């Protein structure tokens, strides 16, 4: 058997079920690897050794007592630092919440806990999920396990790097404009952004409420399906939660991926797409066609407006959501303030990082009197057109495939001086969030210098079964040679 930490979540679950190992042994193996390897990667902001081992022993006791055990029983996972777990520090990688201890637990964490999963700790991210490189964390850089001079992607860079570096069996991230799929692509793992509303956002710090979505990140499509089975479904605590039954997605993962119509947007293969990415994605499309599927061209004419639309809507919602961090109710309070106004000004200016301040100012401006109709209202109208484009495209096909990012992971500092260039790294993922669709990123190849490249599969709303069928079918057909990052 391979090293315990190299197993996929599904393989680890099977080993635990067969009692080939125990949750305590597995958890200890991950903690040891985190101690030896994470200083090179910087994925974790907090490692909860005692809490994880306690959860692992309790899991072993449940298994020994013959109590019903699900597939996540005893499996160690990591949580993005924006997801609250009771009594464990959660900062959103921001100085303004540096010492915040949540008095309650998010629904997704509660569902993982109920399923018997073990929480190893909290992983790094861009501050309040604002960024595409995890360079905006207030505390540390996370490095790409494939090349430590490069970014892991963002904002769920810590989650992606932890999975890729075998520092957890699976992780949860959040995706507002591609923050699960883009880092999954850069780190050579699988990341799922579910249909908006299919996973509860209760207990997840809000960035842009109409776009944010929690999703799983794992080493295989099946791993993501197992976690999605657990965290998905209606939640009365979240008014945006969809009240529909959640099917078991494992049968879809095992279903043959043939006889489908697969759409390829002509707008996704133009200026700005790197040659390595174009070559790998086109090879992936040929593989999918070779499985017995029909490839059809689809038209998404408003996709060129997606980035501008997204940054108007997400900054507007961010300026509203982050107004609560004022130095009064909770979070960082400046010791230099002399009156109420200086308390607000100093606490927010000292507590927030540059990218968060930039987005708050942009959002406040586009919501202000005289500009609301010109910017925010117009952006919402274009958002509708983008959704209509996808609706028409899905009349011709069952799923859409294309690139996740224009290039493989870039070097640290390469795009920090030009925010607009950084924003374009999410150009192929943003429209999926604007339309509320599910999307998945999975490895499809490597660049000439050995960096992972991802393939994105997009499905209609609530059609995650099609997503898993196509992605798992491609995963079985695609031979990437079993490469792993050298750490």
Catalytic residue among 90, 155, 241, 447: 155
Contacts with 372 (C-beta within 8 Å, 6 or more apart), sequence order: 366
The Cα 459–Cα 440 span in angstroms is 9
Count of H helices and E strands in the chain?
16, 11
- Residue 9's nearest CA partner among 176, 285, 194, 228 is 228
* β-bridge mates for residue 403, sequence order: 455
Instruction: Determine how many CB atoms are found less than 10 A away from the CB of residue 233.
Output: 18
Residue 323 Cα distances to 91, 126, 393, 456, angstroms = 16, 18, 38, 34
Catalytic residue among 8, 13, 22, 80: 80
Is 155 part of the annotated catalytic residue set? yes
- Residue 31's nearest CA partner among 122, 139, 120, 107 is 120
The Cα 180–Cα 188 span in angstroms is 12
Strand order in the sheet with 452-458: 44-47, 118-123, 76-80, 170-174, 214-218, 190-193, 439-446, 452-458, 399-403, 261-265, 294-298
Is 266 part of the annotated catalytic residue set? no
For 399-423, letters b (16+ CB in 10 Å) and e give bbbbbbbbbbbbebebbbeebeebb
Catalytic residue among 156, 179, 185, 200: 179
Helices (H), 65-175: 107-114, 157-164
Is 179 part of the annotated catalytic residue set? yes
At 312, list the tokens.
Answer: 């108007």
Helices (H), 247-303: 250-254, 275-290
Instruction: Determine how many CB atoms are found less than 10 A away from the CB of residue 159.
Output: 40
Which residues are tagged catalytic? 80, 155, 179
């Amino acid at each position: 058997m391979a090293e315990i930490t190299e197993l996929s979540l599904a393989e680890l679950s099977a080993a635990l079920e067969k009692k080939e190992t125990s949750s305590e042994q597995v958890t200890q193996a991950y903690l040891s690897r985190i101690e030896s390897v994470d200083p090179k990667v910087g994925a974790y902001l907090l490692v909860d050794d005692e809490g994880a081992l306690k959860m692992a022993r309790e899991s072993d006791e449940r298994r020994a007592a013959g109590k019903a055990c699900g597939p996540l029983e005893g499996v160690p996972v990591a949580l993005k630092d924006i997801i609250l777990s009771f009594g464990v520090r959660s900062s959103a990688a921001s100085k303004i919440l540096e010492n915040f201890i949540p008095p309650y637990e998010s629904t997704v964490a509660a569902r993982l806990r109920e399923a018997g999963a073990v929480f190893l700790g909290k992983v790094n991210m861009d501050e309040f999920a604002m960024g595409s490189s995890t360079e905006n964390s207030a505390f540390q850089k996370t490095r790409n396990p494939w090349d430590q001079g490069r970014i892991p992607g963002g904002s769920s860079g810590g989650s992606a790097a932890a999975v890729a570096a075998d520092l957890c069996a699976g992780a949860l991230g959040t995706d507002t404009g591609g923050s699960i799929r883009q880092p999954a692509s850069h780190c050579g793992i699988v990341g799922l952004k579910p249909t908006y509303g299919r996973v509860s956002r209760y207990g997840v710090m809000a960035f842009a409420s109409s776009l944010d979505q929690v999703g799983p990140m794992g080493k295989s499509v099946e791993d993501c399906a197992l976690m999605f089975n657990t965290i998905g479904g209606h939640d009365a605590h979240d008014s945006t939660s969809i009240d529909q039954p959640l099917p078991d997605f494992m049968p879809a993962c095992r279903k043959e991926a043939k006889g489908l119509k697969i759409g390829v947007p002509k707008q996704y293969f133009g200026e700005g797409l790197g040659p390595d990415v174009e070559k790998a994605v086109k090879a992936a499309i040929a593989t999918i066609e070779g499985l017995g599927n029909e490839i059809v061209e689809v038209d998404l004419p408003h996709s060129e407006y997606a980035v501008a639309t997204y940054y108007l809507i997400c900054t507007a919602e961010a300026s509203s959501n982050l107004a609560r961090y004022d130095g009064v109710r909770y979070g960082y309070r400046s010791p230099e303030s002399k009156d109420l106004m200086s308390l607000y000004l100093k606490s927010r200016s000292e507590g927030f990082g540059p990218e968060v301040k930039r987005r708050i100012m942009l959002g406040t401006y586009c919501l202000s009197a005289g500009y609301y109709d010109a910017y925010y209202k117009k952006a919402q109208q274009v958002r509708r057109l983008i959704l209509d484009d996808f609706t028409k495209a899905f009349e011709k096909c069952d799923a859409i495939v294309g690139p996740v990012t224009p290039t493989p992971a870039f070097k640290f500092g390469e795009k920090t001086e030009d925010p607009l260039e950084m924003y374009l790294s999410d150009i192929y993922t943003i429209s999926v969030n604007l339309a509320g669709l599910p999307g998945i990123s999975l490895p499809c190849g490597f660049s000439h210098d050995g960096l992972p490249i991802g393939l994105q599969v997009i499905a209609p709303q609530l059609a995650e079964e099609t997503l898993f069928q196509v992605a798992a079918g491609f995963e079985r057909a695609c031979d990437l040679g079993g490469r792993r990052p050298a750490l």
